[in-house]
Structure 1
Amino acid sequence: MNPFTPHTLHVSAPGKLMLLGEHAVVHGRPCLVTAVDSRLHLSITLNDPVGNRFSISAPDVGVEHVEGMVADAFAGGFALAPGTRFIESALAVFHQWFPREGSIHIETRSDFSSQLGLGSSSATVACTLFALGKLFGLRLEPLQLFWLGLQAISQVQKLGSGFDLAAAIYGGTLFFSNPSPKEREIIPLNVPDLPLVVAYSGIKADTPTYVGRVAERMANWPAVVARIFDAMERLVVMGRPALENAEWSTFGQLMDIQHGLLHGLGVDTPETARLVFAARQAGAYGAKLSGAGGGDCVIVLTANDSRAEVEAALKAAGGQIVQVAPNAPGVRLED
C-alpha cells in the first residue's frame, strides 16, 4: 500500500472598504463596497484521508496551535480560542452540508491587521469555505459560497448583512442589496481605478457594538432613523452611475453627505471627524468614515495631483496612511 502524502492548498481573499451605505445595509438598504488588495492568506493541508480532526494556527490573532474533532467545531457556539471562531464556524457549516472524512490543518496570515476594520473575519470565512471546497473536489459557485459563509458568520456575531463577505468572495467593486433575510442582490460594477486614500484613525471599532447602537437609536426614533436610511439608499442609487462613469467630484460630495448622516446616527468620533475635515481642507473631492464607525478607517477620494497634500494633512491630523488599492480580485487559489 502506498503511503499517504499530505496535500496542501493555498488560498487568499481580499479585505474591503465600504464606499456608501453603511448601517443602512443592515436594515434592508443597498450599499456600494470595494475589495482591497490587502489579503487574508490561508493554507489548508489534508494530513490524513481518514479521521475527522482539525488543527488551526493563526498567529496574527494570537493562536499558535489548537486542535479538536470536526464534530466539536464551534459546538454550542464555543470555539477553542477567540481567534478561531470564524474558522471553526465555517468548518462546522461546511461539514453540515458536505460531510467529508479527513483530518486537516489550517494556517492563516494576513497582509493587514484585524485592528483596521477591513473585513478580516469575512475574508477568513471566504477562504476557509473556498479552501475546503477545493480540497475535497467540490465545485462551489460564488453565490453558494456566499450563503454558506453568511450562515457561518451569523453563528458567530448574529448581526450583519453580508456585504463584506460578498466583497471577499466576488472581489472588485459591488452594488450589494439586502432587501430581506433570504434575498441578496450582488452586482459587480465596471469601475475605473478609484483614486482613494485610506487612513486609520488609531481607534479600533467594535462593529457589533455600533450596529447595536444604531439599532437602539432606531428603536427610540424610528421615523427619523428610517428617513436617514432612506437618504443613504438614495446616495447609493446616485453614487452607482457616478462610480461607473468616474464622476469623482459628484461621488465625493455624496461621500460627504454620507458621513454627515453617519454622524447623525451617532457613530462618528472626534478622531474620524478630524481626519475627514483635514482631507476636505486639503482639497479632496470628499471624505467619510468607512464601516461601522467608532474608529477604524476613513476613506478619501482625491485627484492624483492632490494625493501627496491630502496624505500629509491626514498624517498631521493623527491618521496612519494605509497602503491599499481598490477593485481587488475575490477569493482565489494561490501558487
Structure 2
Amino acid sequence: MLHHSSASAYGSLMLIGEHSVLHHAKAVVSATKQQLQASISPRDDKQISIQSHLGNLCFPINHIPQNHTFKFALASIAYCYEHLHLHQGFNIHYHSTIPTTIGMGSSAATVAATVKALYQFVNQTIDQHTLWKHCKSIVVQTQGRGSGADLCAAIYGGVCVFTATQGWLKHISSSLLQTFNWQLHYCGYKTTTDEVLKITQKFEQASPKKSQQIYQKMAQLTEEFITALIQQDSLKLALAMNRYQQQMVALHISDSTLNEMINSLYQHPSILGAKISGSGLGDCILSFGTPDSNTVLPKYTNYHINF
C-alpha cells in the first residue's frame, strides 16, 4: 500500500581525496548542516509531479523525460520505477537548504533522499550500505563516473573515511574540526564533475606514468591527513592539505583563478592550510585557520563550516 513518505539527506564537503578516490585510495568527506528533504504523496492517476525551488515538472510514470535541471531526480525515479515496480503516480516535493551553485553535494543529496523516500513510499526498508550502492549506480549512470563520496556523507552524516569500492569505513571526530575556523571560498563559477573527469581521463591517457604517480602521492597525503586529524596535529594537517593542492595543480585542475585564491590564502598569517574542495576547475577552495581568518578573500563568497 502506498502512503505518504519523507526522507532527508545531508549536503557534503570533500575534505581530501578528490580524484585519487577513483583510483582505489581513501577519501575524507564530511556532511554539512544543510539538508535536502524529499516528501512524497500518492496520486489517483499515473502522473508524477515534481515540485522544487528549481521549478516544476509533470509527466506520465511510464514515460520519464530527459530534463537537465532535474536529471538526478529523474534518474532516481527511473531507477526506482524499474526496481520497485512503481505503478501509481505520486507528487514529490523537494525542500533544500543546500546551495546548488557550489559543490556541496546537492545532486548526491537529491539521489539519496529520493531513493530512500521511494522505498518508504512502497513500504520497503533499505539499509545504509544498500542505499549507498543503489545511489552510486544512479550517479555513475547519470554522469558517467563517480566515487560515491558525496553519497556517503549524504547518507551516513558526520565526517567519514570512505573508499569507492567499500563505501563507508568509519567516522572520525577531531578537535581540529571544531577549534579551528574552516571555510569554503567560492570562486564564482563551477565546471561540472563529469566535465572535469573527462579532462582528467585525457590526462591519464596522455601521461599514464605521471598521472599514476600523482594519484599515489594523493593517496599517501590522504592517509597523512587522516592520521593528523586523529592525532589532533594541526601542522601535519595543514602540510597534507597544502601538498595535496600541489598534486591538484599537477593534475591540471587548478586554474588561474583558483591558483590566485590559494596564493592569497597562503599569504594570510591566520590561514594554516588550503586546497581545492571537489573536482576542481572552479567551485570552492577549502581553508582552515585561526578564528581571526574570517576576513580572508573578501571579494569572494565565503561560507563558514560547522562540523
TM-score of the pair, normalised by structure 2: 0.92
Task: Kindly indicate whether residue 49 of structure 2 is the aligned counterpart of residue 68 of structure 1.
Answer: no
Residue 11 of structure 2 corresponds to residue 15 of structure 1 = yes
Equivalence for 2:151: 165
1:35 to 26, 31, 41: 31
Q: Distance in 2 between matches of 1:151 and 1:105?
A: 24
Quote the offset at 1:237 in angstroms: 1.5
Q: Deviations over 1:43-93 (max 9, x none)?
A: 221234xx5431111233xx2x221222222xxxx52x2222111111121
Post-superposition offset of 1:110 = 2.4
Matches within 5 A, 1:169-188: 169-178=155-164, 183-188=165-170
1:36-115 map, 5 Å: 36-48=32-44, 51-60=45-54, 63=55, 65-73=56-64, 78-79=65-66, 81-115=67-101
Moved >6 Å (runs of 4+): none
Q: Deviations over 1:204-232 (max 9, x none)?
A: 22221111111111111100110000000
**Structure 2 unmatched ranges of 5 or more:** none
Shift of 1:153: 1.3
Query: Contact 1:126 / 1:168 at 8 angstroms: preserved in 2?
Result: yes
* Partners of 1:27 and 1:69 in 2: CA distance: 40
The match for 1:319 is: 300
Do the aligned residues in 2 keep the contact of 1:94 with 1:148 (CA within 8 Å)? no
Q: Distance in 2 between matches of 1:98 and 1:321?
A: 42
Task: Indicate the residue corresponding to 1:288 in structure 2.
Answer: 275
SS at match of 1:275: helix
Identity %: 25
Q: Distance in 1 between matches of 2:252 and 2:85?
A: 45
TM-score, normalised to structure 1's length?
0.84
8 Å Cα contact 1:191-1:246 kept in structure 2: no
Evaluate the alpha carbon distance shift between residue 320 and residue 190 of structure 1 in structure 2; reply closer, same or farther with a 3 A threshold. Answer: same
2:215 matched to which residue of 1?
229
Q: C-alpha distance in 2, partners of 1:323/1:12?
A: 22
Please state how far the C-alpha of 1:102 moved relative to its aligned partner. 2.5
Q: In structure 2, the residue corresponding to 1:114 is in which secondary structure?
A: coil
The AA in structure 1 aligned to 2:149 is F
CA 1:213–1:141: 2 relative to 1, 3 Å: same
Q: Please tell me the residue identity of whatever aligns with 1:278.
A: S
Q: Distance in 2 between matches of 1:189 and 1:313?
A: 30
Deviations 1:270-329 (A, max 9, x none): 2222222222222222000101111111111213xxx33x221221xx321114323xxx
Shift, 1:150, TM fit: 1.3
Q: Structure 2 CA distance, aligned partners of 1:116 and 1:138?
A: 33
Give the distance between the partners of 1:254 and 1:160, measured in 2 at CA: 23
Q: Which of 84, 100, 103 is residue 117 of structure 1 equivalent to? A: 103
How far off its partner does 1:7 sit? 5.1
Which of structures 1 and 2 has the larger relative contact order (alpha carbons within 8 angstroms, sep 6+)?
1
Unaligned 5+ segments in structure 1 are: 327-335
Alignment root-mean-square deviation, CA: 1.9
For 1:324, the aligned partner's letter is: I
CA distance in 2, matches of 1:70, 1:150: 23
1:272 match: secondary structure: helix
Question: What residue in structure 2 maps to residue 214 of structure 1?
Answer: 200
